[in-house]
Amino acid sequence: MQNQSNYIVEVTDLKKSYEKVDAVKGVSFSVSKGELFGLIGPDGAGKTSIFRILTTLMFPTDGQVSVLDFDVIKDYKKIRSNIGYMPQRFSLYQDLSVEENLAFFARIFGTTIEENYDLIKDIYVQIEPFKDRLAGKLSGGMKQKLALCCALIHSPDVLILDEPTTGVDAVSRKEFWEMLIRLKDKGITILVSTPYMDEANLCDRVALIQNGEIMSIDTPEKVIENFGRKLWAVKSDKIYQLIKDLKSLEFVDTVFPFGEFLHITLKTEDLNQDELISILTENNHKGIQIQVIEANIEDCFMQLMSTSE
Amino acid sequence: MLKHTENIIEVKNLVKKFGNFVANDNLSFEVKKGEIFGFLGANGAGKTTSIKILSGLSFPTSGDVMVAGFDVYKEREKVKKNIGYMSQKFSLYEDLTVRENIRFYGGIYGLSGKYIKEKTESLIERLKMKDIQDSLIKSLPLGWKQKIAFSVAIFHNPKIVFLDEPTGGVDPITRRDFWEMIYEASDSGITVFVTTHYMDEAEYCDRVSIMDQGRIEGLDTPAELKKQFHAKNMDEVFLKIAR
Amino acid sequence: MNRFIGFVKKEFHHIFRDSQTMLILFGMPIAQILIFGYIVSNEINDVKIGIYDKSQDHITHEITNKITASGFFILHENLNSEKEIEKAFKRGIIREVIVFEPNFAEKLERDGTAGIQIIADASDVNTANIVSNYTKAIINSYVKNELFTQGLPFEIIPEVRMLYNDELKGVYMFVPGTMALILMLVSAMMTSISIAREKELGTMEILLVSPLKPLPIVIGKVIPYMALSFVNAIVIIALSYFVFEMPIQGSLIFLLAETLLFIFMALSLGILISTVSNNQMVAMFISMFALLLPTILLSGFIFPIENMPKILQWISSIMPARYFIVIVKNIMIKGSGIGVIWKETLILVGMTIFFLGMSIKKFKVRLE
């Protein structure tokens, strides 16, 4: 590799505009070799645009973007043969069997299944029993595994996965992330985008993205550290009533449901728990629980969203 | 509160087969009026099949299914009048405006013109979408679309609303706004039947059913399920059942 | 090369696994040619007729001879009264009765006019129309060619169509047209749809990101359809030769070469369509409205170009099928060589280069 810099991907002040909308509004980040980098944000945040520019499928409107030290505009051909890409909602060829799909992608990348079998082995053995089944007849989780195999078949230096776990059930998602972490251990640099905030914790570094702008970029631990406020979890037997009651309190800043608890932040320094309990008891809440908790990525994301607006 | 007493959905020994494949294997459950009922399961576990049967789009192979007091086999037109439906995709017409979409759906259910007009006004007011009421749906962020889609699904005051992954890909704040709308609907007596891949959302439900390979493997309140499966959260419950 | 073969193989898998595509590819051409062929050919061979000759003179005998000698009609019975006509029709064997009025020759010489009544079995309207038209045509040609030449100076307009039996043997007209239509459909529509499908599924993104270059992608898409279209063309020619006894007067090799040229043109057009359409539906509609309808309506396949309004004639001159139909007719029926149809061939070559150039220029290596 003539890779001189330490970065596999370097993006500087990237902008992308379509006819009416600015999808990406000046984004900068870099990804080091062997890193598992997550682009976390909801639909419409600009994730797909960024990935399409990285994979040379689209031109940037402005800014510098290089992948493996190749420029995405001038050297797009060199980039293309060295990356593995799984587009959003990638559906493979439904009318080809598992094995035929894989053989096809191996062939167009000028390789064979055998040549890189080591790399995909862990994943492929899980779908091998169904290798003669048509891809269209596979379950969601299996399709995804096959798609990952296809993206890996030519042993790329970088793997770019656009929302691979969207619409996939929790079990398959978990398995998929386990596979990604094993691939990372083999030295492959991975860029992955996802709307599921809980997946952020599995990345080395994350960029939280919203409305075409990166709100924060750091390790998941640092992102959480930067939350910088006290957070309480509150629970009672009437959750909807609790939301309304807490929102009506003067000293409460934000109220967000998280599972069975509500996460709240305050406008004041500290919380007088007894006072809150008595207010809530007055409003007929039972089984009240209040505790200080540590923020998670989703708390951080929401805080960043509200401060940036 | 008087909710959670009367059964609004009753399913007894529901079986649905496609050839030799059993998509729904002897399901029996009830959903109470006003309940928020979470319907979870892995991809391909048979959720979609069940929802299609409950909403009158598909017939069961055998078993009794009553929805809103009507038999889905014999009275499916009545069933359809009493339910609302919203899926992650295709819920709204992208090339119609917010107002046009609302009026269109009101029209489908045969509501009177005057009623539609009044209700449209109050709905747009409540959604705080006065400024964008004449914008095309496709120009709006996903989260807004989903809020509108939900409002449209309950526009005709159905007894039950089916929500198929309503919050997929929506940003976390809007996702929570959305759930507040669900709570509000439930509070007003509408039964909410919802599927989701976000496990934290499962905890927002009054009761949750978890399907695996065509069968219901767990059905209770989130707290009871966690106890039953010795799990910290719903994520773990789900993994234990579906793995 | 290995990459390329893999690609072509994949395309064949797509085609052979989709029963609907297979049906369009092979069922439709055969069905079309049989339908078009039989509609016409059944009705013009050996139609049984009856003749009620009230005059029995030399002219009526001559006309009767002309009709039976044409090869389309067989004189089934001679009738002797009006009543017998009805009976004859009721037996269901004859389709037409020709009635000559009494003193036919005499009247003709004296008044310059005489009456023939043609009665056709109109329970099958189409057949009745065609049969009576044939009869009229034969009588008219007799009147023109035999009677008027006997004295009066008469202008005879040589009609090419009659010479090559165009109007009478419809199958000769339909085979080239059907061939053009089917090759256009299979080649242009199927390629454009199959490329658009990859865009829709998202697989095109992967192909673009792969080291596969645009040209091999396009050629890989085209080759299977080229092969299948060619097989189709051979099936059509074989059917028309063996089933409808349409002659191939000219060189078969030359005919196949011209067919291949037309297929190639249609494929280039298909690729061009796919570059401007992002999904299968758009590809389908463009193919339908920009290719099929004009091919049917404006190429001279069904409606003669000479009879069209001027503006449609101009439009028809940019219809590739128009030239192909002329080429096929010339080779098959007249046995012409390149000397006669070089102009049409050159036009097709030009169109191919134009479409191919345009589509290469328009083919995007990116998504925008």
B222 chain-A contacts, CB cut-off 8 A:
259-260
Cα–Cα distance between B114 and B191 in angstroms, integer? Answer: 26
User: Which residues of chain C have a Cβ shorter than 8 Å from any chain A Cβ?
Assistant: 2-3, 5-7, 9-10, 13-14, 17-18, 201-203, 205-212, 365-368
Residue C126's pLDDT band, with cuts at 50, 70 and 90, is low
- Of B65 and C336, the one with more pLDDT: B65
Local structure of B51: helix, strand or coil:
helix
Residue C149's pLDDT band, with cuts at 50, 70 and 90, is low
Q: What are phi and psi of A160, to 5 degrees?
A: -120, 115
Per-residue pLDDT tens over the stretch B76-86: 888 988 999 88
Residue C163's pLDDT band, with cuts at 50, 70 and 90, is very low
How big is the A-B interface in CB pairs under 8 Å?
A: 96
Residue A140's pLDDT band, with cuts at 50, 70 and 90, is confident
Task: Indicate the CATH number of B7-82+159-242 among 2.30.31.70, 3.40.50.300, 3.30.830.10, 2.40.100.10.
Answer: 3.40.50.300
State how far Cα A23 lies from the chain centre: 18
- Of A134 and C296, the one with more pLDDT: A134
Residue in chain A closest to B213 (alpha carbons) equals A139
Give residues 92 to 111 of A whose Cβ lies within 8 Å of C: 92-96, 100, 103-105, 107-110
Neighbours of B209 (CB within 10 A): 22
Quote the strand ranges of chain C, DSSP E. 47-53, 73-78, 96-100, 116-120
Most confident among A201-215, C52-66, C107-121, C125-139 (mean pLDDT): A201-215
CB-based touch C/B (3+ pairs, under 8 A): no
Return the partners of chain A (3 or more C-beta pairs < 8 Å): B, C
C80 and C183 in a single domain? The answer is no
A159 chain-C contacts, CB cut-off 8 A:
none
Cα–Cα distance between C190 and A1 in angstroms, integer? Answer: 43
Instruction: Give me chain C's average pLDDT, please.
Output: 80
What total of structural domains would you count in chain C? 2
**Which of A140, A210, A260 is opposite residue B44, by nearest beta carbon?**
A140
C69 and C185 in a single domain? The answer is no
Per-residue pLDDT tens over the stretch C320-343: 999 998 898 888 877 888 888 899
Residue C170's pLDDT band, with cuts at 50, 70 and 90, is low
Question: Within chain A, what is the greatest distance between any pair of CA atoms?
Answer: 72
* Buried-exposed string C218-250: b where 16+ CB fall within 10 A, e elsewhere: bbbbbbbbbebbbebbeebbebbeeebebeeeb
- Of B227 and B89, the one with more pLDDT: B227
Residue range A185-213: average pLDDT? 94
- Of B1 and B118, the one with more pLDDT: B118
User: Which residues of chain A have a Cβ shorter than 8 Å from any chain B Cβ?
Assistant: 20, 41-45, 139-141, 163, 166-174, 195-198, 210, 239-240, 243, 256-260, 298, 301-302, 305-306
Cα–Cα distance between C207 and A151 in angstroms, integer? Answer: 11
Residue C157's pLDDT band, with cuts at 50, 70 and 90, is very low
B141 chain-A contacts, CB cut-off 8 A:
44
Cα–Cα distance between A259 and B198 in angstroms, integer? Answer: 10
**pLDDT at residue C151, as a whole number:** 52
Poorest-confidence range of B121-125, B163-167, C137-141? Answer: C137-141
C236 and C350 in a single domain? The answer is yes
The minimum CA-CA distance between A3 and chain B, rounded to whole Å, is 36
In a domain, C162, yes or no: no
Q: What are phi and psi of A116, to 5 degrees?
A: -115, 25
Mutation to test the A interface, candidates C5, C12, C203, most A Cβ within 10 Å: C203
Per-residue pLDDT tens over the stretch C26-37: 887 788 777 776
C177 and C320 in a single domain? The answer is yes
Residue range B76-101: average pLDDT? 85
Indicate the Cα dihedral angle C185, C190, C192, C198, nearest 10°. 170
> A256, B176: Cβ pair inside 8 Å?
yes
| pLDDT at residue A3 greater than cutoff 50 | no
Residue range B121-134: average pLDDT? 89
Q: Is A143 on the interface with C (CB under 8 A)?
A: no
CB-based touch C/A (3+ pairs, under 8 A): yes
Local structure of A234: helix, strand or coil:
strand
**pLDDT at residue A2, as a whole number:** 44
Question: Long-range contacts for C253-258 (Cβ within 8 Å, ≥24 apart)?
Answer: C254/C331, C254/C337, C254/C338, C255/C328, C255/C331, C255/C332, C256/C230, C258/C324, C258/C327, C258/C328, C258/C331, C258/C341, C258/C345, C258/C348
DSSP B124-137: HHHTT-GGGTTSBG
Count the helices and strands in chain A (H runs, E runs). 10, 14
A89 chain-C contacts, CB cut-off 8 A:
202
Percent of chain C with pLDDT over 90: 10
Poorest-confidence range of A138-147, B93-102, C101-110, C189-198? Answer: C101-110
Query: Which residues are within 8 A (CB) of A245 and not within 5 positions of it... i.e. 6 or more apart?
Result: A279, A280, A283, A285
| pLDDT at residue C81 greater than cutoff 90 | no
Mutation to test the A interface, candidates B18, B89, B135, B176, most A Cβ within 10 Å: B176
C245 and C311 in a single domain? The answer is yes
Token digits for C127?
């057949």
> A169, B141: Cβ pair inside 8 Å?
no
**pLDDT at residue C124, as a whole number:** 58
DSSP class of residue A198?
Answer: G
**pLDDT at residue C150, as a whole number:** 59
C181 and C263 in a single domain? The answer is yes
End-to-end Cα, chain A, rounded Å = 43
**Which of A20, A169, A302 is opposite residue B197, by nearest beta carbon?**
A169
Out of C157, C185, C217, pick the residue that ends a domain. C157
8 Å CB contact between A284 and A278? no
Mutation to test the B interface, candidates A238, A240, A246, A300, most B Cβ within 10 Å: A240
**Which of C10, C205, C211 is opposite residue A96, by nearest beta carbon?**
C10
Residue in chain C closest to A57 (alpha carbons) equals C366
Cα–Cα distance between B210 and B219 in angstroms, integer? Answer: 6
8 Å CB contact between A147 and A90? yes
The domain in which residue C229 lies consists of 2-40+169-362
Q: Which of A269, B224, B203 is nearest to A292 (CA)?
A: A269
How big is the A-C interface in CB pairs under 8 Å?
A: 83
DSSP class of residue C210?
Answer: S
The minimum CA-CA distance between C230 and chain A, rounded to whole Å, is 25
Q: Which CATH architecture has domain A231-308?
A: 2-Layer Sandwich (3.30)
Angstrom CA distances, B208 to A27, A150, B211, B216, C138, stand at: 41, 36, 10, 10, 86
> A259, B233: Cβ pair inside 8 Å?
yes
The minimum CA-CA distance between A35 and chain C, rounded to whole Å, is 22
C237 and C208 in a single domain? The answer is yes
CATH code for residues A7-225: 3.40.50.300
The minimum CA-CA distance between B121 and chain A, rounded to whole Å, is 24
- Of C10 and C91, the one with more pLDDT: C10
Looking at residue C295, its amino acid is: T
Q: Is A89 on the interface with C (CB under 8 A)?
A: yes
Three state DSSP letters for B168-182: CCCCHHHHHHHHHHH
**pLDDT at residue C165, as a whole number:** 36
Mutation to test the A interface, candidates B1, B142, B167, B171, most A Cβ within 10 Å: B171
> C209, A59: Cβ pair inside 8 Å?
no
A107 chain-C contacts, CB cut-off 8 A:
2-3, 5-7
In a domain, C9, yes or no: yes
8 Å CB contact between B36 and B194? yes
> C203, A76: Cβ pair inside 8 Å?
no
If 0-12 CB within 10 Å is exposed, 13-18 middle and 19+ buried, where does residue B48 land?
middle
> A92, C17: Cβ pair inside 8 Å?
no
CB-based touch A/B (3+ pairs, under 8 A): yes
C344 and C271 in a single domain? The answer is yes
A108 chain-C contacts, CB cut-off 8 A:
3, 6-7, 207, 210-212
C5 chain-A contacts, CB cut-off 8 A:
107
Looking at residue C139, its amino acid is: I
**Which of C206, C210, C367 is opposite residue A58, by nearest beta carbon?**
C367
CATH 3.40.50.300 in chain B, residue ranges: 7-82+159-242
**pLDDT at residue A281, as a whole number:** 93
B186 chain-A contacts, CB cut-off 8 A:
240
Predicted TM-score (pTM) above 0.90: no
Per-residue pLDDT tens over the stretch A38-90: 999 998 899 999 999 999 999 999 999 999 999 999 998 899 889 999 998 76
Cα–Cα distance between A263 and A290 in angstroms, integer? Answer: 10
Mutation to test the C interface, candidates A18, A101, A107, most C Cβ within 10 Å: A107
Cα–Cα distance between A300 and A226 in angstroms, integer? Answer: 8
Instruction: Give me chain A's average pLDDT, please.
Output: 91
Length of chain B: 243
Residue C44's pLDDT band, with cuts at 50, 70 and 90, is low
| pLDDT at residue C182 greater than cutoff 90 | no
**pLDDT at residue C64, as a whole number:** 87
Sheet architecture: strand order including A213-218? A83-86, A158-161, A189-194, A36-40, A205-210, A213-218
If 0-12 CB within 10 Å is exposed, 13-18 middle and 19+ buried, where does residue C293 land?
exposed
8 Å CB contact between A47 and A21? no
**Which of A43, A172, A258 is opposite residue B200, by nearest beta carbon?**
A258
A70 chain-C contacts, CB cut-off 8 A:
none
Percent of chain B with pLDDT over 90: 45
C196 and C333 in a single domain? The answer is yes
C116 and C206 in a single domain? The answer is no
Per-residue pLDDT tens over the stretch B9-27: 999 999 999 988 899 999 9
8 Å CB contact between C198 and C214? no
> A170, B143: Cβ pair inside 8 Å?
no
> A58, C203: Cβ pair inside 8 Å?
no
C116 and C36 in a single domain? The answer is no
C203 and C126 in a single domain? The answer is no
**Which of B44, B171, B239 is opposite residue A305, by nearest beta carbon?**
B171
> C6, A88: Cβ pair inside 8 Å?
no
Residue range A170-176: average pLDDT? 88
